[in-house]
Amino acid sequence: MPIPSLPIEIVSEIVSHLRTPLKSDSHEAIEAGQSLSLVCRRWSPIGQALRWNDLEIGTISVPSLLAHFDLHPHLARFVTSFALYGNTQLHDNGNGDGEGVGALPRLLSVLGQLASLDLRQISANLPVVMQTAAPLQHLTELYLLSDHCLDWNERLTSTLVAGLPVLRDFSLTALQDFVLDDDDIIATAPRNLKKVQHISLSWYTSKGSNVVHRFLSIFDPAALRICALVGAPACASAYEWLVACSNLSNLRIAIVCGFLTSNFPSLLDNISKMKSLECIEYRVFGGTRDDFYTLPVSLEVILVSIPSTLERFRVQNLLFADSDESHDLPIPDSVLDDNLCFIEGMVSWQEGYRCAVIWKDKGDKKSKNGHRIVLGFESWNEADET
């Protein structure tokens, strides 16, 4: 007796495990898609979806991809994740990249089902990209980079606020100045705030940090879950805005070493008011990979300031100058019931320095300095490599 053919919907479900997650290696899915496309006419769309779901191409390939979509327009609707990278080997002769980046807006206009757009490896014309991406109804992730002075103006604000209706993950990296053309732009922006859950802002000049808190006001504080601020420095007024983020669970801060003395105390003043925080990562950069810096406050001040919800405070390249051996204790079994807060940093140890974990029971009001375990590593980079 011949085996009856399965409904195409069942076949689609069976091979759905071949669909690779976003930002993963899609080679296996492409090969599987090619094979499925050759089985029969009914299976061809399933194979095409696997082959075109997750695209990552160089800028030089954009014109040829557009030409392919012109011949086969139905393929564009299969693309849900798209990443573009620069062809650095072409920069010497000036060919390829400019044409590819210039064709990007037209390419985006045909990717109607796009959910993730990653442009962190190229610097495209930000206003044009924003204007083209704004109508995309399915875009949940947008990652952008600007390698020149970024003048954020009223038009960009309105485009971001009014468009991208389902945006949930937004990343913006400015390699130079990040400035607002007018101090009142954000204050007069439309009030339908973006309900973004994950925000990452990176800038590399001290001038840029002066506008970060006003830029953040584009977003709905109640929607934010994860926030990363990487710059020089992450300004105190941005911390004040984060206090209003009632569902913020993860916070990542990275600052230039010259601002540590003023920035870290400001962070402590504000995180004590953040009642949903579970994890904080605070890092200082400006030296070599294994440099570490002395904390400007005592360990006691840190332990008093952290909210009761906090589970981990990673200050791995900072030194607890006042942590001595009198507080060395093993971590108790209560670690399994999520009742402890852990702080990861460096301590002085005999003639050198060692990684240490400071822990304290969340409800413990008596032990002002907590307890610690000293690890046998001179840096957290060394610990991570073992």
pLDDT, tens only, 306-351: 888 999 999 999 998 776 665 666 666 655 556 888 999 998 887 7
Across the range 150-174, mean pLDDT stands at 90
How far, in Å, CA of 244 to CA of 349, rounded? 40
The token duo for 374 is 């000293």
Across the range 242-270, mean pLDDT stands at 93
Task: Return mean pLDDT, the chain.
Answer: 79
* Angle of CA points 41, 71, 105, to nearest 5°: 125
Q: pLDDT class for 292, splitting at 50, 70, 90?
A: confident
For residues 32 and 134, which has the higher predicted lDDT (pLDDT)?
A: 134
At residue 363, the pLDDT reads 64
At residue 130, the pLDDT reads 92
How far, in Å, CA of 50 to CA of 360, rounded? 49
Q: Among residues of the chain, what percentage have pLDDT more than 90?
A: 31
On whether the CB atoms of residues 140 and 116 are closer than 8 A, the answer is yes
Q: What is the pLDDT of residues 5-15, one digit of tens each?
A: 645 544 454 45
Among the listed ranges 70-84, 187-201, 331-345, which one has the minimum average pLDDT value? 331-345
Give burial (CB, 10 Å; 0-12/13-18/19+) of 120.
middle
Q: pLDDT class for 157, splitting at 50, 70, 90?
A: confident
Across the range 117-121, mean pLDDT stands at 93
**Which residues contact residue 16 at a Cβ distance below 8 angstroms, ignoring those fewer than 6 apart?**
none
Cis-peptide, bond into residue 233, ω within 30° of zero: yes
Give the closest residue to 212 by CA, choosing from 253, 169, 166, 270. Answer: 253
Q: β-strand 226-230 against 178-180: which pairing, if any?
A: unpaired
For residues 159 and 206, which has the higher predicted lDDT (pLDDT)?
A: 159
On whether the CB atoms of residues 248 and 224 are closer than 8 A, the answer is yes
At residue 97, the pLDDT reads 60
Q: pLDDT class for 295, splitting at 50, 70, 90?
A: very high
**Which residues contact residue 209 at a Cβ distance below 8 angstroms, ignoring those fewer than 6 apart?**
203, 231, 232, 233, 234, 235, 238
The token duo for 72 is 């086969």
Can you name the residues that pair with 233 across neighbouring β-strands? none
Q: What is the pLDDT of residues 11-67, one digit of tens each?
A: 454 455 445 444 444 444 444 444 455 455 555 565 566 677 888 888 888 888 888
Q: pLDDT class for 237, splitting at 50, 70, 90?
A: confident
Q: pLDDT class for 154, splitting at 50, 70, 90?
A: confident
At residue 126, the pLDDT reads 87
What string of H, E and C letters represents the secondary structure of the chain?
Answer: CCCCCCCHHHHHHHHHHHCCCCCCCCHHHHHHHHHHHCCCCCCHHHHHHHHHCEEEEEHHHHHHHHHHHHHCHHHHHHCCEEEEECCHHHCCCCCCHHHHHHCHHHHHHHCCCCCEEEEEECCCCHHHHHHHHCCCCCCCEEEEEECCCEEECHHHHHHHHHCCCCCCEEEEEECCCEEECCCCCCCCCCCCCECCCEEEEEECCCCHHHHHHHHHCCECCCCCCEEEEECCCCCHHHHHHHCCCCCCCEEEEEEEHHHHHHHHHHHHHHHCCCCCCCEEEEEEECCCCCCCEECCCCHHHHHHHCCCCCCEEEEEEEEECCCCHHHECCCCHHHHHCCEEEEEEEEEECCEEEEEEEEEECCCCCCCCCEEEECCCCCHHHHHHC
